[in-house]
Amino acid sequence: MVAQCGHEITSNPLYWFQSFSPSQATMVGRGFRFLDSKCFSDASHSYFFILSLIVVHYTTQASNPVNCKSQNISSKYQHCGIHPDGVHDLDCFGKYSSQGLKKCVWKPGNGALEKTYTLIVKQYFHGRCRAYNITGISTQIAIFSNYNMSAEVFENSESTNCTKAIFRGSPMSLLRCGPPYKVSFSRHSGRLVVNVSWQKEDTNNIKYYFVRYKALGSLSWSKSPVKSQNGEICTVENLNSSLDYTAQIKCDTNEKCSQCAWSEAYTVPSELTTQPVIVNLTDIAMSKDQRLLYLTWKFPAKELFDGYYVTIGKASGEAHELMNTTQPEITLILSYSAYHLNISAVNNASTSPPVSQAIPQREDMPSMGAGKVNVTVHSNTSFTIYWKDNLIKKYVCYSAEYMKKGHKAAYMSFYQNEKNYRTLSPLPEPLEPYKRYNITLHTRPNKDTCNMKNVNNSESTYGSTQFYFIEGYPVSAPTNISSYTVTLNSVVLQWSSIPEEDIRGFLLGYIIYYTEYNPRGTSTERNITVDPTLNSYELGDLKSGTAYKVQISGFTQAGEGVRNTESIFKTKSEGFSNFSGVITVSAVVATVLIFLSPIIKRAKVILWPSIPNPGNSNALQKIIGPCELELLESINALKAEEWDTYSLQIVEKEDVIPASTLALYRAFEEEEDSPESSCNWMQRDTEDASEGIPPVITAETFPDIQRTDPQSSPFAFSSGYTTMELFQQGIPQGMSANTSVTQDTESKSEDTDLAVVKFSTSPVLDSVEIFTIL
């Protein structure tokens, strides 16, 4: 059938290829590549070709192409022209893997009345051309790859408003790669990493690609596109973390990709730089040896984000699980094991820094101990773990976690369906002597999780215990030994426990050594063993007033540890006890007196008020103050006259309150007790008294003198001084002062006696005393 490669053969089935519809050509396109590079050499190729025609005949979706030569296509569509509002942007391209097939696409005009178009494809191969009637705006065509082609698409071909679009090109230059099948972006620290997946037929043909970008809303792209490191990954540096960007991608052209177009625009959101903040963490113990963990958080930043990544993993590193959520909360059902939790906000380009939360192992459930789990150590790389209950009826998958204090836990998961124990060997790391290990046994209900796949709600805790590979004796002693509550024959000792790392085994108890302190001799040492849970003990049966020295040590199964430094205490003596009682009573009495004295003083003020000193009264100050000098002068005058007498002179004047005296009192009231009036009044009384006193007055001189009883006189007082009230009562009743005078007082005007008593007991002037009584 083929005479020479590359030459036209009229009977070549290639001619039949031009009659394929687009869908038929798609199925057999790969088989026609031999027309450009190979020649038929035997009849099997022809049979395969004919069989392909039969198969694709039943998959035709568009009308079969028509030979342009048999119909006068050119004259039929000569009235159609190119118009801006008509059909436009006709483009044809193909893939390197199927060079005999091309895809032609176009855009409809603004005034399109129908959805059917006519596509005419011409190649200069015997002047052949094919016409396609197509519903839609794209189709696949079959062409010869060694010959240039031209294509025309007609719109509204039956009307006078027919428009067309034209395309010309070489098939070898129409090999187009792209667009990307999938694109992902990752931003971190001002860097953008682009990861691209291409269509299957382009994967091996694209070696590199370019990325151009601009800030969202900007009109201009980056100065130069960034070339990728390979066909998948491209890194863009020095971006602003707070800005959103727009990016486009296209492949790098080569012989297999002669055309590379920019992809659609992708929006790259800003970088998330703020970590979430945990608001609340609630850890609740549940039944069946599980706990419920409820966690809430918030994301304080304003950046756009799509949701959160929550990563929960066992602290031993056995497994972790990544969960997505759009809400800032999550509920987990976990075992009593320790976990690590990370929460990050995410969008389609970045992940925020995570907030981390350590979830410690719970040890507060009573069923965790009580002999449910036991361990027998065989060597530093092997031990057997036993469990009390017959768990194999319900569980077959287990996990044992063991760890030293302050270290990461090691784990071994296993399958067991026959016995209630399991020997674990070899261990990931050898056991260390004198180190305490905590071991916890977890059960897993699902058989496919013996090697843990999920963390949430996948296991429960059965029990735990502690063990040593090799025990030793304590290398340190209790510290901070003190004594208190010391009595005549007892004392209470208190101490701090031995640190766990220094015990080097399970502490079985403490030994207290004590003996009488005798620097010059020896005494018998006694000891007592106390429970390891105690940190104080009362020593009894001691001697009073005796000093003792004491030491304490701890012991394990391996033996007794070192003792601490000697401590000395002394019991009380009997005398000291009595003296202490006296001191105590004295202290109590002193305290009572100190606090009782203010109370007594206050009660005295309330129950027995102080009597005021009349010398400090206002009335007496008005009388005495201004006239003090004049009174002293008068007294001195009297002294000068009478210094040489030994006699007692009494002058008595009787009068029924003369008018002159009443006038004096009224004047005294009108002057409001002025110092001048007081002085004048007193001076006049003094003069009158002095004028009426004879040189010598005796009792015989006035035999008929009426004696006045001081007690019955209205001017007599019960004491040697008076208050303001009594002073006012002594004012004559005839005064019309501001103070009210009752009618009864006026009716009792009696004779008022004015007596001046003068006596002298010594001729010495300084010893004379003068008394004036009103």
DSSP string, 366-380: GGG-TTSEEEEEEET
Q: Is 763 part of a structural domain of the chain? A: no
Amino acid at 374: N
Q: Which residue has the higher pLDDT, 97 or 68?
A: 97
Confidence band, pLDDT 50/70/90 cuts, at residue 233: very high
101 and 141 Cβ atoms separated by less than 8 Å? yes
In whole angstroms, what is the distance from residue 314 CA to residue 308 CA?
A: 20
Identify the DSSP state of 350. Answer: B
Contacts of 355 (CB under 8 A, 6+ apart): 275, 276, 277, 278, 297, 342, 343, 344
In whole angstroms, what is the distance from residue 455 CA to residue 359 CA?
A: 14
Whether 172 and 206 share a structural domain? no
557 and 473 Cβ atoms separated by less than 8 Å? no
Give, for 744, the enclosing helix (H) or strand (E). helix 743-747
In whole angstroms, what is the distance from residue 486 CA to residue 484 CA?
A: 5
Average pLDDT over residues 571-584: 68
Whether 169 and 187 share a structural domain? no
316 and 407 Cβ atoms separated by less than 8 Å? no
Q: Is 698 part of a structural domain of the chain? A: no
Q: Is 104 part of a structural domain of the chain? A: yes
Q: Which residues pair with 444 in a beta bridge?
A: 397
Last residue of a domain, one of 176, 204, 220: 176
Confidence band, pLDDT 50/70/90 cuts, at residue 502: very high
Whether 438 and 484 share a structural domain? no
Whether 149 and 75 share a structural domain? yes
CATH code of the domain covering residue 379: 2.60.40.10
pLDDT tens digits, one per residue of 277-308: 999 999 998 877 899 999 999 998 877 888 99
In whole angstroms, what is the distance from residue 623 CA to residue 1 CA?
A: 166
Whether the per-residue pLDDT at 365 is higher than 50: the answer is: yes
In whole angstroms, what is the distance from residue 28 CA to residue 20 CA?
A: 9
Q: Which residues pair with 350 in a beta bridge?
A: 187
Whether 461 and 556 share a structural domain? no
Start-end of H helices in 397-527: 500-503
Whether 256 and 308 share a structural domain? no
Q: What is the reported pLDDT for 612?
A: 66
In whole angstroms, what is the distance from residue 473 CA to residue 493 CA?
A: 23
Residue with tokens 């606090």: 595
Q: Is 239 part of a structural domain of the chain? A: yes
In whole angstroms, what is the distance from residue 770 CA to residue 678 CA?
A: 20
Cis amide bond preceding 179, omega within 30:
yes
Confidence band, pLDDT 50/70/90 cuts, at residue 400: very high
Q: Is 11 part of a structural domain of the chain? A: no
Q: Does the CA dihedral 735-739-740-742 come out positive or negative?
A: negative
Whether 186 and 251 share a structural domain? yes
Whether 168 and 183 share a structural domain? no
Q: Which residue has the higher pLDDT, 434 or 581?
A: 434
Confidence band, pLDDT 50/70/90 cuts, at residue 71: low
Last residue of a domain, one of 352, 383, 406: 352
Count structural domains, the chain: 5
Last residue of a domain, one of 537, 570, 603: 570
Whether 347 and 253 share a structural domain? no
Whether the per-residue pLDDT at 221 is higher than 70: the answer is: yes
In whole angstroms, what is the distance from residue 399 CA to residue 387 CA?
A: 12
Q: Is 653 part of a structural domain of the chain? A: no
Q: Is 145 part of a structural domain of the chain? A: yes
Whether 492 and 515 share a structural domain? yes
Whether 456 and 496 share a structural domain? no
3 state SS of 728 = helix
Q: Which residue has the higher pLDDT, 15 or 632?
A: 632
In whole angstroms, what is the distance from residue 746 CA to residue 206 CA?
A: 142
Q: Which residue has the higher pLDDT, 131 or 41?
A: 131
Whether 457 and 429 share a structural domain? yes
Lowest pLDDT segment from 377-391, 432-446, 613-627, 629-643: 629-643
pTM exceeds 0.85 for this model? no
Give the strand pairing for 491-496 and 479-484. Answer: antiparallel
Give the residue numbers spanning the domain of 403.
Answer: 374-468
Q: How far is CA 164 from the centre of its chain?
A: 71
Q: Is 684 part of a structural domain of the chain? A: no
Average pLDDT over residues 75-98: 87
426 and 410 Cβ atoms separated by less than 8 Å? no
